[in-house]
Amino acid sequence: MGESCAKPYYRFTGAMRTAGLFVFLSALSFSLSVCGIEDYPFIYPIPSGNIQRELNSRVTVSIPGDNSTSNYFTHFTVFYRIYVSDINEVTPAKSNLSNINQALYNDYTRIEPYISNDSIGSASVGTLFSDRKFYSVEVNNADIDSLFSVSVLNRTVIFDFPQNPGSIPALVIGSSRYELIRSRGNGNFNPIPADRYFVNDPDLYASTNINPNVNADVTDKTDSAGNSLIPPSAVHHTYVCMYIVAAGLDSQTFSPLYSTPAFVGVLRLPDPS
């Protein structure tokens, strides 16, 4: 192995200060170059303070322009998973997630240490969401990666989940509204209902449809043996948990890059009309 990269320490006094500063900057530049820091691929996450939640129906995200000068940033990705519940929770929070669905709480606490943690590697973030069966949100009749590219920097986006029956949740950017739809997992499953809207439809939460081939993006509320805790005749509610990450490509290794995730929120899916 090569020599470790230590932080240089300098003290300047009197007439040495001007010359010393030049030496310091030269040494620092050399140290960064040797350590590879200036070439380290990095993309900026969205700070948690930029996300404002309104009950279980609306989240506003102010997207900063930090990635405008990045050579690696390409777009933002929103990861999601849906959870079935028998609880109508108006203000989802960490303290009541287990009441909604224990699996929701388990996923939240597993992902929570990654938020705003700069020591977490990019590969770990990608694996984190794939291992927990989170998928990428899509939009109807548009390419969401293009919507979330550099054109969205320094703008505000809204995840709008109106609670009126028959409403279709949407991504709002400026005056444009894009209907949100669920993933097909790159063709690995065929979700139903076929329109893939984020709506609390009986076909969405039916236990018989929650499997790797159909609604693989949905988690039922079950006991430790995997049996559903909600009788078929009971009122069902469904919630989506979402996280947003900055995504990019390492031009040296051609491997995907991810920032640390930001928690968007837990939103209740509206009932069908």
DSSP 49: G
Give yes or no: residues 190 and 247 share one domain: yes
Give yes or no: residues 66 and 161 share one domain: yes
**In angstroms, rounded to a whole number, what is the distance separating the alpha carbons of residues 160 and 169?**
6
Helix %, strand %, coil % for the chain, to 5? 25, 25, 50
Give yes or no: residues 71 and 112 share one domain: yes
Q: Single out the residue of 43, 102, 63 nearest to residue 220, CA to CA.
A: 102
For the record, the structure tokens of 111 come out as: 């992902």
DSSP 228: B
Give yes or no: residues 256 and 197 share one domain: yes
**In angstroms, rounded to a whole number, what is the distance separating the alpha carbons of residues 58 and 273?**
20
Give yes or no: residues 19 and 123 share one domain: no
Give yes or no: residues 114 and 186 share one domain: yes
DSSP 271: P
**What does the pLDDT look like over 148-207, one tens digit per residue?**
999 999 999 999 999 999 999 999 999 999 999 999 999 999 999 999 999 999 999 999
Give burial (CB, 10 Å; 0-12/13-18/19+) of 175: exposed
**What does the pLDDT look like over 44-84, one tens digit per residue?**
999 999 999 999 999 999 999 999 888 899 999 999 999 99
Give yes or no: residues 72 and 197 share one domain: yes
For the record, the structure tokens of 185 come out as: 């997992």
The confidence score (pLDDT) of residue 94 equals 95
Q: Which domain holds residue 21?
A: 1-40
**What does the pLDDT look like over 233-269, one tens digit per residue?**
999 999 999 999 999 988 888 888 899 999 999 999 9
The confidence score (pLDDT) of residue 137 equals 98
Identify each DSSP E strand in the chain by its residue range.
51-54, 58-62, 73-85, 135-136, 138-139, 156-160, 170-173, 176-181, 218-219, 237-249, 256-258, 262-268
Number of folded domains in the chain? 2
Give yes or no: residues 247 and 153 share one domain: yes
Structural domain includes residue 24: yes
The confidence score (pLDDT) of residue 23 equals 41
Give yes or no: residues 257 and 212 share one domain: yes
Structural domain includes residue 76: yes
Prior bond to 169 cis, omega within 30?
no
Structural domain includes residue 191: yes
Structural domain includes residue 176: yes
The secondary structure of 239-251 as a DSSP string is: EEEEEEEEEEE-T
Give yes or no: residues 193 and 122 share one domain: yes
**In angstroms, rounded to a whole number, what is the distance separating the alpha carbons of residues 190 and 183?**
9
Q: Single out the residue of 270, 261, 269 nearest to residue 107, CA to CA.
A: 261
